[in-house]
Structure formats: structure tokens, C-alpha cells
Amino acid sequence: MTARILEGKEFSARIKDEAREAVEQLRADGVIPGLTVIIVGENPASQVYVRNKHKTCEELGIRSEVVALPEDATKDQLLETIDRLNADQNVHGILVQLPLPTAIKAHEQEILERIDPLKDVDGFHPFNVGKLVTGSPTLVPCTPAGCIKMLDLAGIEIDGKRAVIIGRSNIVGKPMLHLLMARHATVTVCHSHTKPLGDVTREADILVAAMGKPKFVTAEMVKPGAVIVDVGINRIAPKKLVGDVDFESVKEIAGAITPVPGGVGLLTVAMLMQNVVRAARLQLGR
């Protein structure tokens, strides 16, 4: 048996179509949803991500602005920029591109918390985290939200399934836990102290790999027929990306699997666009 390949391009297009329709409805009411991305410094990978976000905004009719601050920008300069955008009614979403330069990286949490929770399209503000944990989510981190949306669009049942997440980050692992629980899955979160890990992962009907270790999940760790969601993106050579799952071996035993590249990564930007629309509606009281 060879697994069904869950191609990110297909699901991303469907998510963006939904966002485009919502943007058109807002524009018909005289509201142009706007996203502002703040980038500090010259990180090449960050510049690529920001260009992708800008391009996708333009595709969908979302007003896009990029605020570029120099590598030596201070924490106070960045906070002042966020304050200005918080006060701008034409800006519905604010995103600070991570990672920050070393000089201000220690202040990352303070910086993210400065963003108005209703404009926090990354879903990282403690207000939005709290809403997710208590079962009334508003703006949800884009990658885990994209994973859930993909499962739905693919017709994969979540209710009643055993789900296992490898990784407990604030960006993927923890929000994924709450999203899956909200859909009535029985969820186990594993990490570097989980022993024996393979015994736990082999129980999973849905296995989410998000620990940042290339090809860590092997066929021996997977239940036959399981759905494998590979969130990892690991560069093992200048032009070679792999996921946290050993794709070639696992695809022979899994029921469905996301590839890397071309899988979950494409969903993140698409879900960001949906968050911008959601943020605009929240600010309009809708």
C-alpha cells in the first residue's frame, strides 16, 4: 500500500479561494483588509517569507505593507512602530517576522505582546492563546490551523481518533493539541523525554511530526494506515529540504502523508490570509 499524498498546493488553493471570496465581501462593504509585516534586519530566509506573504496578499486583494527596520533597530523603535500600526484603522493585521536580530531577540515576547490582540494574525498573543485554550478561539496560529483545515478538506475524520503530536512548541505543538481536542480527538503530546516514543506513536491514527529533526519518524514508528502530518522543514544541503518524517519509508505504510517540501508549509501563508480577514471582521464587530 502506498499512501495518499496530501499535496499542499491543492489545499492551499482552496483555502485562498475561501479567503478571496471573503475579501470581496468586505471590499463590497467598503472595507479593504490590510496586513502590515514588520521585518528587522537582512535575514535572507525572512525576506523570502515576507515576499511570499506580500505576493499572496496582492493575489487576494488584501492591502499589503512591509515595514523594514535596520538590523540595529532598538526594541523601543520596534515597539513604537507597533504602537503606530495598532492605532491605524486601515491596518487589520500586524505580523513581526521572526527570528529577530540577536540584539533584541531576548525581548521577543514583550514585542509580540505589544501587538493589539485583535490584529495579532500570527495568533501568538497571550490573549489569543488563552481564547484557544478555553475553547473560544479567535485568531489561531497559522500552521496548526492549516493542518486542521487540510484534514477537513481531505475528508479525513478527526472525531474519536487517536492523535499523537511529537513536539510541544508554542507555535505548533501546543496549539495543535487544543485544536485536535476541540474536534474530539484523544490527543497525546510527545517530546524529547517521552520513552519509549515508538510505542506511543504507533497508537496514532493521526500523527503530527513537529520537532525539527530531519527524517526522525521512521516506518517502524507508524501505525499502518495512519495519517501523517509532517510540519518539519529541515535544510540538509544548500538546495535540499526534508521533513521530520522519513517520507520514502513511511509512505509505504501510512494511509496518507504530507510531503516536504510542498506540504504543510504552503498552508501557513494561506491561513494567514484567512486570519487577516478574520481580524478585519473582529475589528468591525462582525
Burial class for 89, CB neighbours closer than 10 Å (0-12, 13-18, 19+): exposed
Q: What is the pLDDT of residue 45?
A: 85
Residue 242: name the closest of 253, 230, 254 by CA: 230
Pick the catalytic residue: 116, 120, 122, 230?
122
Q: What is the pLDDT of residue 2?
A: 87
Residue 223 known to be catalytic: no
Grid cell for residue 81:
512602530
3-state secondary structure of 68: strand
Q: Which domains does the chain show, CATH number per domain?
A: 32-116 (3.40.50.10860), 141-266 (3.40.50.720)
Phi, psi (deg, nearest 5) at residue 229: -110, 110
Pick the catalytic residue: 16, 97, 215, 223?
97
The Cα 65–Cα 30 span in angstroms is 19
Pick the catalytic residue: 53, 149, 161, 251?
53
- Residue 147's Cβ-side half-sphere holds a number of Cα atoms within 13 Å equal to 31
Q: What is the pLDDT of residue 165?
A: 98
Q: What is the pLDDT of residue 92?
A: 98
How far, CA to CA in Å, does 175 sit from each of 27, 151, 234?
A: 31, 16, 21
Residue 122 known to be catalytic: yes
The Cα 245–Cα 243 span in angstroms is 5
Q: What is the pLDDT of residue 219?
A: 97
Indicate the pTM of the whole model.
Answer: 0.94
The Cα 111–Cα 121 span in angstroms is 14
Kindly report the length of the chain.
Answer: 286
Residue 143: in which H helix or E strand, if any? Answer: helix 142-153
Phi, psi (deg, nearest 5) at residue 5: -90, 120
Q: Dmax over Cα atoms in the chain, in whole Å? A: 57
Averages of pLDDT over each 10 residues, the chain, 286 residues: 93 97 96 97 90 95 97 97 97 96 96 98 97 96 98 98 97 97 98 95 98 96 98 88 96 97 94 97 91
